[in-house]
Amino acid sequence: MKITFLGTGTSQGIPVIGCHCAVCRSSDPHDTRRRASIAIESRGSTVIIDTSPDFRMQVLDARIEHLDAVLFTHPHADHLHGLDDIRGFNHIQHHAIPCYGDARTLAVIRESFRYIFEAPDHGGGLPQITLNEIRDPMKIAGIEFEPLNILHGPVGILAYRFGNAAYVTDASTIPDETMAKLAGLDVLILNALRQKPHPTHLSIGESVEIAQKLKPARTYFTHMCHRVMHKPTEAELPDGIHLAWDGLEIEVAEDT
Ligand SMILES: [Zn+2]
Ligand SMILES: [Zn+2]
Ligand SMILES: [Zn+2]
């Protein structure tokens, strides 16, 4: 199974519009971050988690030309607003793309993208998707996904475990029952916004602590803001913990 980081930035993306800080002006490509998303490829299937506002350029750069399903973590704009560009895949594949999320996410999609569900024939200009609630572990495009409950500030959202890997973004708290389900991972992908604590996102220090409790073989941080410069931050992280970057591809052994 291959995981590609399509985006590793927080909601504004990096560089931030109008910002002249060292990270936003950095010439290191690791310091340019699109909004957070990953692609999972396994046995010819491709599943993407979240359709960020950068979705179109992300799939073009990753040369993804076939999409089997989309899973959503939660309906914040930085995880959802690229949804319209799914129509590129509809044109190639001639069928609706199944999308999965919790009930609240699906309700927000119906509301925010009303035109998708209400407009009459739009000459092929509308994305075609199906909305499917995910509450229990489910096989999607041949990959078993287990939805996991996490807290994003006061709001409950989803993370996903798939085989020996897990994608946990926009967490501020991981409840004990979910911590138990994240045991024995090869790869943990976890959000880590910045050094300073934040009310709705884990900080780097908090995420290091969680990774050290869960002890996955490898941990990759994502959803970083422009206070995080790649090179010096990466150098300070404990062994086995890394900052992900846009375009990074990692292999994960298939679950047996
Ligand atoms: Zn986010
Ligand atoms: Zn900046
Ligand atoms: Zn969010």
Q: What is the pLDDT of residue 254?
A: 77
Q: What is the pLDDT of residue 160?
A: 98
- Inform me whether the pLDDT recorded for 122 exceeds 80: no
| Residue 124 CA to ligand 1 centre (angstroms) | 30
Asked if 166 contacts 159 with a C-beta cutoff of 8 angstroms, the reply is yes
In the block, which residue shows the tokens 């599943």? 47
- Inform me whether the pLDDT recorded for 157 exceeds 60: yes
Q: What is the pLDDT of residue 107?
A: 98
Supply 208's token pair: 């290091």
Give tens-digit pLDDT for 88-105: 999 999 999 999 999 999
The pTM (predicted TM-score) of the whole model is: 0.97
Q: What is the pLDDT of residue 125?
A: 85
| Residue 71 CA to ligand 2 centre (angstroms) | 30
| Residue 146 CA to ligand 1 centre (angstroms) | 20
Q: Phi and psi of 104, rounded to 5°?
A: -65, -40
Query: Which numbered ligand comes closest to the C-alpha of 153?
Result: 3
Query: Which numbered ligand comes closest to the C-alpha of 152?
Result: 3
Asked if 155 contacts 141 with a C-beta cutoff of 8 angstroms, the reply is no
Asked if 14 contacts 225 with a C-beta cutoff of 8 angstroms, the reply is yes
| Residue 125 CA to ligand 1 centre (angstroms) | 28
Q: What is the pLDDT of residue 124?
A: 63
| Residue 197 CA to ligand 3 centre (angstroms) | 15
| Residue 74 CA to ligand 3 centre (angstroms) | 7
Which residues are in the CB-under-5-Å shell of ion ligand 1?
78, 170
Q: Phi and psi of 56, rounded to 5°?
A: -60, -50
Query: Which numbered ligand comes closest to the C-alpha of 108?
Result: 3
Q: What is the pLDDT of residue 75?
A: 98
| Residue 12 CA to ligand 3 centre (angstroms) | 11
Query: Which numbered ligand comes closest to the C-alpha of 7?
Result: 1
Residue 119's pLDDT band, with cuts at 50, 70 and 90, is low
Q: What is the pLDDT of residue 234?
A: 98
Q: What dihedral angle (degrees, nearest 10) is formed by the CA atoms of 93, 3, 99, 112?
A: -110
Query: Which numbered ligand comes closest to the C-alpha of 37?
Result: 1
Give tens-digit pLDDT for 184-231: 999 999 999 999 999 999 999 999 999 999 999 999 999 999 999 999
| Residue 36 CA to ligand 1 centre (angstroms) | 7
3's enclosing H/E stretch is: strand 2-7
| Residue 194 CA to ligand 3 centre (angstroms) | 15
| Residue 63 CA to ligand 1 centre (angstroms) | 24
- Inform me whether the pLDDT recorded for 120 exceeds 60: yes
Q: What is the pLDDT of residue 113?
A: 96
Q: What is the pLDDT of residue 255?
A: 61
Domains of the chain and CATH, by start: 2-251 (3.60.15.10)
Residue 146's pLDDT band, with cuts at 50, 70 and 90, is very high
| Residue 101 CA to ligand 3 centre (angstroms) | 14
Residue 118's pLDDT band, with cuts at 50, 70 and 90, is confident
| Residue 65 CA to ligand 2 centre (angstroms) | 33
- Dihedral over Cα of 49, 228, 150, 179: its sign: positive
Query: Which numbered ligand comes closest to the C-alpha of 199?
Result: 3
